[in-house]
Amino acid sequence: MLSNRAARDVATLVHPYTNLSTFRETGPLVLERGHGVWVYDGDGRPYLEGMAGLWCTALGYSNEELVEAASEQLSRLPFTHLFSGRSHDPAIELAEALKELMPCPTSKVFFTSSGSEANDTQVKLLWYLNNALGQPRRKKIVSHVRGYHGVTVATASMTGLPANHADWDLPLPGFLHAGCPHHYRFAQAGESERDFSARLAADLDALIQREDPETIAAFVTEPVLGAGGAVVPPEGYFEAIQAVTERYGIRLVADEVICGFGRTGEWFGSQALGLRPDTISFAKAVTSGYMPLGGVSVDPALYDVLVAQSAKLGTFGHGTTYSGHPVACAVALKTLEIYRRDRIVEGVREKAPQFQARLSALAGHPIVGEARGIGLIGGLEIVADKASRAQFDPKAGVAARCVAFAQDEGLIVRFLAGDRIAVCPPLVIQPGEIDTLFERLGRALDRTAAWVAAEGLEPLPL
């Protein structure tokens, strides 16, 4: 029976990315407070937050400096906007700071409230740019199968996950999906990572040729696929892909919403994985998740077009009420200050070997097929048969059951498509807490294996 608070939740809220049918019986995990890498429910029980919330709470919970930065800005100027030439110091200072960090040529920064808005803005800017350049046919967007870029109509179309398309009348025409760069799951027998990368690049080239290169506006990619399984692309992948996009003059957009601001051991995932984007989208860890903020980098050539179009049309006709919200910008400024002062990015590089070793060790578990990551992000795939890599029936919900066991062990992780589990703790996690995380995840896997045996679950036919 649900508690009173859980029943009130079920009676009033629609929860994103939740099975709303089974949820009516199980109810929510209601969290009341957090400190460091730990969050606590209403009974005071602690959980190690192994997903940094939703890939974002990089500096952990209850960071007093971030709370103070928000409070001070709320007292000084709680809201103004950037429409019609208005501005404020936090937005100016944050844009200056971000320009210095960007892994691509950047003239200006455009702020949004989320990663979805940032990627939606990228689509609009691409269409706007090509209309201005007299290339109105160059509008198609290519992204990955299993890539994730948001939930607006446009960004859900870019996203390559079935649940984001089924019964939503998506994807829209003009959104195309190239092969998923997941060597473990999609490589052919005996195919090396470099050979797999070369094949995917050849497949992308063929897709572009079929569609007509003059109709392709951009290729959009995450440095590490997040919601698609926490998948690290194979060796040589971006080198091979960029050779194709450059051949046809196709812009390369890096979705750094999850990877940006230290997650991979570099400021941006593009730097860690050899990606040379024309522009990036960012969000999440730019404020350590404490305030909603996202944005896109605007390269000099694009900005020149925006200026020319403003002269022609009388305005730059895009923006949202909370673009560059002063409180969000103030928190982001303090977040970047802490990243630099406390050597957070360097700390990720120092802790990554321990994290990745503990993750890799899980590949020896009887129901784990792959366990791989970079920096302080990792994904593992549950399989029914390690030798053949056969999976369980998705309807059995094996990864979801493992995540439930992990929560029972006092660890929060996330299950994703393909019976994959993501691990993405706050960047401030300490070595002893890394050990605690993987000890609890190991026990959850043991309990999952026992449950699978008790249920008599069999591999799906290959």
Same domain, 177 and 77: yes
Q: What does the angle CA 162 – CA 128 – CA 211 come to, to the nearest 5 degrees?
A: 50
Mean pLDDT of the chain: 97
Asked, for residue 460, whether it belongs to a domain, the answer is no
pLDDT category of residue 113 using cuts at 50, 70 and 90: very high
pLDDT of 462 reads 75
pLDDT digits (tens, 9 = 90+) for 403-434: 999 999 999 999 998 999 999 999 999 999 99
Same domain, 18 and 112: no
Q: Which residue's structure tokens are 């995450």? A: 222
Tokens found for residue 254:
């890096």
pLDDT of 183 reads 98
pLDDT of 114 reads 98
pLDDT digits (tens, 9 = 90+) for 434-459: 999 999 999 999 999 999 999 999 99
Asked, for residue 374, whether it belongs to a domain, the answer is yes
CA distance 128 to 135: 10
pTM over 0.75: yes
pLDDT digits (tens, 9 = 90+) for 222-275: 999 999 999 999 999 999 999 999 999 999 999 999 999 999 999 999 999 999
> Is residue 277 within 8 Å of residue 104, measured between CB atoms?
yes
pLDDT of 108 reads 98
Range of the domain at 383: 4-62+343-455
Same domain, 263 and 202: yes
pLDDT of 346 reads 98
Same domain, 36 and 173: no
Asked, for residue 294, whether it belongs to a domain, the answer is yes
Average pLDDT over residues 388-397: 95
pLDDT digits (tens, 9 = 90+) for 324-339: 999 999 999 999 999 9
Same domain, 268 and 387: no
Same domain, 41 and 117: no
Residue 438 exposed, middle or buried by CB count within 10 Å (0-12, 13-18, 19+):
buried
Residues in the chain: 462
pLDDT digits (tens, 9 = 90+) for 33-59: 999 999 999 999 999 999 999 999 999
- Residue 1 confidence (pLDDT) above 90: no
pLDDT of 306 reads 98
Same domain, 357 and 243: no
